[in-house]
Amino acid sequence: MRQWIAALALTALLQLPAAGAELKPDAINAASFERKLPTGDRINPLAVKVQALLDRARFSPGEIDGRFGDNVEKALRAFAEANGLPSGKVLTPEIWSKLQQISSEAVIVEYVLTDLDVKGPFIDKLPSKLEDKKSLKRLSYTSSKEALSEHFHMSEDLLAEINPEKKFDHVGDKINVVSLPADKQSIKVARIEVDKGRETVKTFAKDGTLVAFYPASVGSDEKPTPSGTLKIVSIEPNPTYRYDPKYKFKGVESTKPFTINAGPNNPVGTMWIGLSESGYGIHGTAEPSRVSKSESHGCVRMTNWDVERLARSVKKGVEVNFVEGKQASR
C-alpha cells in the first residue's frame, strides 16, 4: 500500500508543470486577462505582457519586471485616463481590451547577440560611493546582461527567467527579449506635468491631449523638487555629472567639486534635460529598478530609456509644471 501511494504521489508530481515553464515566450505572448490578477510576487506572463503593451503605448511602467507593482498601477491609471475609461481598479476588461488594440505583434521576440552586445567595454564593479566614481574614464555597464536588460527595458531577473542557462556573452546566441516599441516621431510635447506626490511625469500635446506617461523619483524632504512652472533650457545626451560640495549629499565627504564622466551608470544616466532653475533637471539613472521607489536629490529621475524618449519629443522652452499631488507611499 505504501509503495502504491508513493508511486501515485510521484506520478502526480511528474505531471506538474516544470518551474519556469509558464515563462516561455509563447505563454507570455498568449497571456490573457480573465478578470482576476495573478496572486503572489512571482514573475508572471500576464504582467510581462501588460507592461510591454503599456511601454509600446508610451505609458511607461518603468522597468519591465513581470510583476504588478505600483508603477504598473500608475501607468494603467494614466492609460485609462487618456482613453476615457474608468480607472477604479488596476486592470479592468475595458482597459485590457484597449491594450489589445495597441499592437498584434508578439511582445516577446527572438534576438541574436551581436559583437556590439558582448564586447563592452564593461567595468568590473560600480563603486557605491559617489566620489569613488570620479576616477573612471566612463561609467559603462558592468556586464552584457545589464546592457541588454536596459536596452530592452527589462529587469535583469526577467531577462534571466526567460533565458535559462544563457550567459549573454557569445555572439550569435539567440535570446528572448521584449519587443521594443516603435518610436512615434510625430509626437510633439507642448507641456510637461510633474506630480510631486504621486511621483509621475505626464506629457501633453498642444491641444491638451495626454500623450505619454512615465513613473519618476521626485525629490525628498531633505532636497525637495521645485514648485510652480519652469522651462526646459537644455537637452544634453550622455552628460557628465558635476558634484558641488554645497549640495551636501549624505555619504559624500569631498569638500571640493568633482566631475564624473558620462555613461549609463553615471548618476544622471544617459540624458539631462536642464530646467530654468539652476541645478535642477529631468534625467536618467544607474538604477532603473528604483525609479519611483526611492528619493531623488531634488531632480526628476526616470529610467534612461524613458528620459531619452521624453528628450526626443520636447525642445527648449517647453513648460514643466510641478503640481502637488497626493503623497505616494514607499
**Residues noted as catalytic:** 283, 299
* DSSP secondary structure string for all residues of 288-319: GGGTTTS--SSSEE--HHHHHHHHHH--TT-E
- Could you say which DSSP state residue 224 is in? P
First to last CA, the chain: 54
Measured between alpha carbons, how far is residue 132 from residues 213, 226, 267 in Å? 34, 29, 12
- Per DSSP, the three-state class of 265 is coil
Position 189, amino acid: V
- Per DSSP, the three-state class of 252 is coil
**Strand 271-275 with 228-237, pairing:** antiparallel
d(CA 219, CA 310): 19
Please work out, in degrees rounded to the nearest 5, the angle formed at the alpha carbon of residue 102 by the alpha carbons of 98 and 106. Answer: 120
Residue 246 phi, psi dihedral angles, 5° rounding = -65, -15
Position 128, amino acid: S
Cell numbers linked to 24: 516561455
Please work out, in degrees rounded to the nearest 5, the angle formed at the alpha carbon of residue 120 by the alpha carbons of 216 and 55. Answer: 30
